[in-house]
């Protein structure tokens, strides 16, 4: 058998609810094949912090890094929970994993599946992928506060953009575009962020010369939000920095029928570290514990995981099962596990 060592981090809120369904689907898709998932579950997140005070220990990190891939639900408590004030789960856990495991590509595909009721009256065909840089930008934590709490307080958060870091993600994005519809859109804010925007623009121009078949265009991020709503069909590959990519992909999720469908991969293309797959959404404290979260985003994240590991046929079977399930949705409310069961059943049929 081919053994895949999978680290599973269910996390907080709806994380464990959607991850159970994703695990169900993973088991169903490899049933009868020679692939076997050897899963280790890591209890990490706000609940663990509240119980033990730990966010992500060095031992956790090295144990996770010893796996072939990671499946994560969502981490983070109720925004504003005073007990989590010093925890910083997002930075100390999620971003720490992305940074330490060098997930420099945050791949976030967006498709409007047939039959999905979206908010747009006439969306056309939506099928694009956001290649969001995952290890730099304003996320690095290069900032500080002086004279804190006084009227003279100064708070800085520096956006870090290295030639090395920008070039490797831009190169990945061009390779994606080359394999897809050969259109690449750089999104930034070069009219204001002249230094950070400038390096992105110059590197896209330079790398673009190696991909003469790929048509390149550029949009300021504010205008990009307009086109994502008015003309989303124009996009094929969007490459952008960590923060703009975060914002654009929630919007992309919303225009393609809801954040409950949006999957992502935090990828280390070099294969030095395991890549991590997770829904774009968070722990959704407002609906946690009710069994009503949509597990589709987590399930589609397993398709990205399978594809990354080279199980391309299994990946497309999962995607197809999800497509069929979506097309058969009548609008009647189903529970989280009913959706997972239905998709797993299609894989076994």
Residue of 47, 60, 102, 294 interacting with ligand NAD (CB under 6 A): 294
Of residues 234-263, those binding Mn ion (CB under 5 A):
246
Could you give the string, one character per residue 28-67, with x where binding to ligand IPM holds by CB under 6 A and - elsewhere?
A: ----------------------------------------
Could you give the string, one character per residue 273-292, with x where binding to ligand NAD holds by CB under 6 A and - elsewhere?
A: -----x--xxxxxxx-----
Can residue 97 be called a binding residue for ligand IPM (CB under 6 A)?
A: no
Of residues 206-265, those binding ligand NAD (CB under 6 A):
259-260
Distance CA 235, CA 241 (A): 17
Could you give the string, one character per residue 75-94, with x where binding to ligand IPM holds by CB under 6 A and - elsewhere?
A: -x-------------x---x
Q: Are 136 and 161 spatial neighbours (Cβ–Cβ below 8 Å)?
A: yes
Active site residue 5: no
Q: Are 102 and 272 spatial neighbours (Cβ–Cβ below 8 Å)?
A: yes
Of residues 85-114, those binding ligand NAD (CB under 6 A):
90, 94
Distance CA 11, CA 17 (A): 10
Taking CB positions, which residue lies at the least distance from ligand IPM?
90
Active site residue 182: no
* Minimum CB–partner distance for residue 340 and ligand IPM (Å): 22
> Binding-site residue total for ligand NAD (CB under 6 A)?
22
Active site residue 189: yes
Active site residue 250: yes
Task: For 34-72, give one letter per residue: b (16+ CB within 10 A) or e.
Answer: ebebeeeebebbbbbbeeeeebbeeebbeebeebbbbbb
Q: Are 299 and 25 spatial neighbours (Cβ–Cβ below 8 Å)?
A: yes
Residue 332's contacts (CB-CB under 8 Å, 6 or more residues apart) are none
The binder of 297, among ligand IPM, Mn ion, ligand NAD, none, by C-beta within 5 to 8 A per type, is ligand NAD
Active site residue 236: no
Among residues 197 and 340, whose Cβ is nearest to ligand NAD?
A: 340
Can residue 95 be called a binding residue for ligand IPM (CB under 6 A)?
A: yes
Lateral strand order in the sheet of 127-133:
35-41, 2-11, 69-74, 275-279, 263-267, 105-111, 127-133, 237-240, 183-188, 215-220
Can residue 130 be called a binding residue for ligand NAD (CB under 6 A)?
A: no
What is the sign of the dihedral through the CA atoms of 86, 89, 91 and 92?
positive
Among residues 190 and 249, whose Cβ is nearest to ligand IPM?
A: 249
Element (H, E) at 227: helix 221-230
Distance CA 62, CA 65 (A): 5
Question: Of 281, 337, 277, which is closest to residue 303 (Cα–Cα)?
Answer: 277
What is the sign of the dihedral through the CA atoms of 107, 269, 240 and 266?
positive
Q: Which one of the listed residues 12, 102, 241, 246 is annotated catalytic?
A: 246
Q: Which residues lie near ligand NAD (CB under 6 A)? A: 14, 18, 74-77, 79, 90, 94, 259-260, 278, 281-287, 293-294, 297
Q: Which residues lie near Mn ion (CB under 5 A)? A: 246
| Binding-site residue ranges for substrate | 98, 108, 132, 222
Q: Which residues are catalytic?
A: 139, 189, 222, 246, 250
Q: Which residues lie near ligand IPM (CB under 6 A)? A: 76, 90, 94-95, 246, 280, 282
| Binding-site residue ranges | 98, 108, 132, 222, 246, 250, 282-294
């Amino acid at each position: 058998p081919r053994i895949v060592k999978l680290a599973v981090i269910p996390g907080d809120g709806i994380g464990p609810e959607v991850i159970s369904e994703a695990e169900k689907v993973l088991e169903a898709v490899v049933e009868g094949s020679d692939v076997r998932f050897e899963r280790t579950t890591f209890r990490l997140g706000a609940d663990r912090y509240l119980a033990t005070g730990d966010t992500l220990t060095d031992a956790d990190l090295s144990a996770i890094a010893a796996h072939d891939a990671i499946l994560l639900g969502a981490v983070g408590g109720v925004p504003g929970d005073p007990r989590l004030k010093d925890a910083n789960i997002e930075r100390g856990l999620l971003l720490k994993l992305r940074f330490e495991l060098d997930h420099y590509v945050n791949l976030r595909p967006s498709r409007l599946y047939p039959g999905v009721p979206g908010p747009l009256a006439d969306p056309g065909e939506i099928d694009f992928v956001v290649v969001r840089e995952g290890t730099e930008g304003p996320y690095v934590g290069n900032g500080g506060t002086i004279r804190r709490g006084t009227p003279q307080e100064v708070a800085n958060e520096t956006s870090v953009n290295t030639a090395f870091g920008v070039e490797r993600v831009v190169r990945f994005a061009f390779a994606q575009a080359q394999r897809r519809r050969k259109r690449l859109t750089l999104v930034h804010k070069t009219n204001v962020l002249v230094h950070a925007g400038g390096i992105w623009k110059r590197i896209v121009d330079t790398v673009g010369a190696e991909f003469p078949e790929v048509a390149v265009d550029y949009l300021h991020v504010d205008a990009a939000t307009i086109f994502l709503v008015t003309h989303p069909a124009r996009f094929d590959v969007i490459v952008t920095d960590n923060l703009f990519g975060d914002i654009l992909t929630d919007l992309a999720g919303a225009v393609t029928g809801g954040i409950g469908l949006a999957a992502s991969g935090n990828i280390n293309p070099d294969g030095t570290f395991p890549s991590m797959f997770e829904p774009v959404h968070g722990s959704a404290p407002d609906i946690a514990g009710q069994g009503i979260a949509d597990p589709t985003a987590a399930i589609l994240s397993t398709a990205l995981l399978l594809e990354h590991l080279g199980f391309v046929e299994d990946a497309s079977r999962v995607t197809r099962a999800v497509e069929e399930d979506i097309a058969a949705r009548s609008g009647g409310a189903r529970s989280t596990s009913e959706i997972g069961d239905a998709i797993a059943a299609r894989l076994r049929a």
